[in-house]
Amino acid sequence: MAYIETVHERDASGELAALYQRVGNPDGTVDNVMKVHALNPESLRTHFEMYVAALHKPSPLSRTEREMVATEVSRLNGCEYCLHHHNLGLKRLLPDRRHEAAENLRHGDLDGLSDREVAMVLYARKLTCQPLEMREDDLQPLRKAGLDDRAILDLAQCIGYFNYVNRIVAGLGVRLGEDEGTPGQWPE
């Protein structure tokens, strides 16, 4: 499941058990990306709070748009774990007629995305792959697509979060599967 020691849900006690209950899936499982923080409950709490802020708190960006960004950043970073989870989450949010767009995005193809979605994905690409080349001009396509400064801030936060979590997953060897719930779930 990971290169470091983790704690299964059934073996958690005290503060860790309470956190697992908070960060767990509706089916009672805890995703491996959260379990990897078991040896440092404060790290788990902080990671989960960043996750909630980036993907679930009220925002001018829709949940669908944030899952698109999660899919693209994870694809760019080669993070199969997050790509799998968030592309399935994206498909859960999209109507059936747009599932092909989600599958296209999984492979880096922008077919089926709106102009607004394309602008966000292209911004995510540059911020992920060329962060030191970012300029104020990079915001113009976002503004043209209707994003205000709050939306742009939330977009950068979402991109930054997934660059962080992709590195936690890669650096600590987090794997899909073992003792996880159904991919694409999210805490209630």
Q: Give the pLDDT score at 177.
A: 74
Q: What percent of the chain has pLDDT over 90?
A: 89
Does residue 40 lie in a domain region? no
By the 8 A CB rule, do 24 and 44 touch? no
Q: Residue 179: pLDDT band by 50, 70, 90 thresholds?
A: low
Count of domains observed in the chain: 1
Q: Is residue 21 a part of any domain in this protein?
A: no
For residue 143, the domain's CATH number is 1.20.1290.10
Report residue 65 CA to chain centroid gap. 11
Is the whole model's pTM more than 0.85, yes or no?
Answer: yes
Q: Which residues are CB-neighbours of 62 under 8 A, at least 6 positions away? A: none
Local structure of residue 129 (DSSP, 8 states): H
Q: What is the DSSP letter of 156?
A: H
In which band, very low, low, confident or very high, does the pLDDT at 122 lie, cut at 50, 70 and 90? very high
Q: What is the pLDDT of residue 184?
A: 53
Domain that includes residue 124, residue range? 63-171
The reply to whether 39 falls in a domain is no
Q: Is residue 135 part of a domain?
A: yes
16 in a structural domain:
no
Q: What is the pLDDT of residue 115?
A: 98
With contact defined as beta carbons under 8 Å apart, do 90 and 79 qualify? no
The DSSP secondary structure of 43-55, one letter per residue, reads HHHHHHHHHHHHH
Q: Take residue 156 and report the two structure tokens written for it.
A: 């950068």
The 8-class DSSP code of residue 14 comes to: H
At 6-55, the pLDDT tens digits run 999 999 999 999 999 999 988 888 999 999 999 999 999 999 999 999 99
Work out the widest C-alpha separation in the chain, in whole angstroms.
51
- Is 2 within a domain? no
Residue 119 belongs to a domain: yes
Is 9 among the domain residues?
A: no
The pLDDT-based confidence of 64 (bands split at 50, 70, 90) is very high
